[in-house]
């Protein structure tokens, strides 16, 4: 199997992560994959580091001359690479791949992956691309799949939900690493460490999380420890520190800043919390926590209710409900491994394109 992933994303977001994991998993399975993306973008640079073939072009340009240049270069690369499957992870240039696969494809098939919680456009051309040109549409959540079936009238047998998967050689339970990181952070064996991993952004729900922890700490849960693994984006560190003080948690909260030892910090945790108030079309952090053997409590944003049982889910922004979930040591672990992710992806693409 030879797979070309079109990953034209400017930053390493969840969409890029989902695509990159597939590209890496293909190699582990003995297949060949290549990554096409924006010049010097993070996912392209990461693919280079992994030894995955790359093709760089300005897929997102609106300049007609740049588009023509990109089209010519891409057609030449496809001819050289000879893929069995071309996978578009973004909408830009999907129109060209749709038309090319429909009228000029020589043996390869087109798949559209959608890892965006926003509804797809439902005009005639969008329906034509997804329903008539793509051999399959793969979504990262059932709620996204439903939008294709209802909005674009895509036949249900062409739309498949495939959740992500993590590298279990990196994210795995590690007792020695847990002890090392807890000593480093000053935690005792009796401390109950509740962690939130994510950039400092309102959508991640830090305010709800801190309010929930405040309820527990003020009501006698004195062994509670709060670990914030993240860095400022739309919330400054000083504003995060202010929220911590306002909730009376300054003595038990540690902010890590940017770290390259996230698996260790997850292992040091007793519970992972996903307190998001929006988005979460993929939620790789939840999968990474669980791969480390750490149970997770999550809001009902996006894909999260699909990934967890009711006992692990609370209504978003409801800090009292979150406090109850933490207090009762609620949470779930389920292994979303990269190998199964790739296998399910290939199955969703259809037997005829599996070598």
Question: Could you give the CA distance from residue 261 to residue 338 in angstroms, rounded to a whole number?
Answer: 20
Would the pLDDT of 310 be above 80?
no
User: 333 to each of 183, 297, 337, how far by Cα in Å?
Assistant: 25, 10, 12
Domain ranges of the chain: 2-165+338-353, 175-327
Question: Could you give the CA distance from residue 343 to residue 138 in angstroms, rounded to a whole number?
Answer: 13
Question: In the chain, helix, strand, coil percent, each to 5?
Answer: 45, 15, 40
Q: Per-residue pLDDT tens for 211-270?
A: 999 999 999 999 999 999 999 999 999 999 999 999 999 999 999 999 999 999 999 999
Beta strands 109-114 and 192-197 are unpaired
Q: Where are the beta strands (DSSP E) in the chain?
A: 2-6, 32-37, 54-56, 85-88, 109-114, 136-139, 159-161, 192-197, 224-229, 253-255, 271-274, 296-299, 313-314
SS (H, E, C) 172-240: CCCHHHHHHHHHHHCCCCCCEEEEEECCECHHHCHHHHHHHHHHHHHCCCCCEEEEEECCECCCCHHHH
Would the pLDDT of 354 be above 60?
no
Do 2-165+338-353 and 175-327 have matching folds?
A: yes
> What percent of the chain has a predicted confidence (pLDDT) above 70?
98
Q: 19 and 50 in contact (C-beta within 8 Å)?
A: no
**Which of 38, 111, 23, 41 minimizes the C-alpha distance to 70?**
38
Q: How far does the chain reach from its first CA to its final CA, in angstroms? A: 6
- Superfamily of domain 2-165+338-353 in CATH is Glycogen Phosphorylase B; (3.40.50.2000)
Instruction: Provide CB contacts within 8 A for 146, sequence distance 6+.
Output: none
Residue 355 binned pLDDT confidence (cut-offs 50, 70, 90) = very low
Q: 9 and 16 in contact (C-beta within 8 Å)?
A: yes
Other CB atoms within 10 Å distance of the CB of residue 208? 24
pTM of the model: 0.91
CATH topology of domain 175-327: Rossmann fold (3.40.50)
Q: Per-residue pLDDT tens for 15-56?
A: 999 999 999 999 899 999 999 999 999 999 999 999 999 999
Q: 120 and 152 in contact (C-beta within 8 Å)?
A: yes
Q: Per-residue pLDDT tens for 137-188?
A: 999 999 999 999 999 999 999 999 999 999 999 999 999 999 999 999 999 9
pLDDT of residue 353: 36
């Amino acid at each position: 199997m030879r797979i070309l992933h079109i990953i034209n994303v400017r930053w390493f977001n969840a969409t890029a992560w989902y695509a990159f994991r597939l590209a890496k998993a293909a190699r582990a399975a003995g297949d060949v994959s290549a990554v096409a993306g924006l010049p010097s973008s993070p996912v392209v640079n990461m693919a280079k580091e992994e030894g995955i073939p790359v093709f760089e072009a300005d897929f997102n340009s609106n300049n007609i001359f740049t588009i023509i240049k990109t089209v010519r270069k891409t057609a030449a690369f496809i001819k050289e690479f000879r893929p069995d499957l071309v996978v578009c992870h973004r909408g830009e240039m999907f129109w060209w791949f749709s038309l090319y696969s429909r009228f000029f494809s020589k043996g390869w098939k087109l798949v559209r992956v959608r890892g965006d919680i926003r509804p797809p456009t439902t005009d005639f051309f969008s329906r034509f691309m997804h329903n008539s040109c793509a051999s399959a549409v793969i979504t990262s959540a059932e709620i996204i799949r439903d939008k294709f079936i209802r909005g674009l009238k895509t036949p249900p047998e062409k739309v498949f939900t495939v959740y992500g998967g993590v590298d279990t050689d990196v994210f795995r339970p590690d007792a020695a690493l847990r002890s090392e990181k807890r000593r480093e952070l000053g935690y005792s064996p009796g401390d109950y460490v509740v962690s939130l991993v994510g950039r400092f952004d309102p959508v991640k729900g830090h305010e709800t999380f801190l309010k929930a922890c405040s309820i527990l700490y003020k009501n006698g849960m004195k062994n509670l420890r709060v670990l914030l693994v993240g860095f400022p984006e739309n919330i400054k560190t000083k504003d995060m520190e202010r929220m911590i003080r306002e909730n009376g948690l300054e003595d038990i909260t540690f902010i890590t800043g940017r770290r390259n030892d996230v698996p260790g910090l997850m292992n040091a945790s007793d519970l992972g919390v996903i307190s998001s108030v929006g988005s979460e079309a993929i939620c790789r952090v939840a999968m990474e926590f669980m791969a480390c053997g750490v149970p997770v409590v999550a809001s009902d944003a996006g894909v999260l209710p699909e990934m967890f049982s009711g006992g692990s889910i609370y209504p978003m922004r409801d800090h009292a409900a979150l406090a109850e979930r933490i207090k009762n040591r609620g949470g779930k672990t389920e292994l979303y491994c990269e190998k199964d992710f790739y296998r399910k992806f290939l199955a969703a693409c259809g037997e005829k394109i599996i070598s």
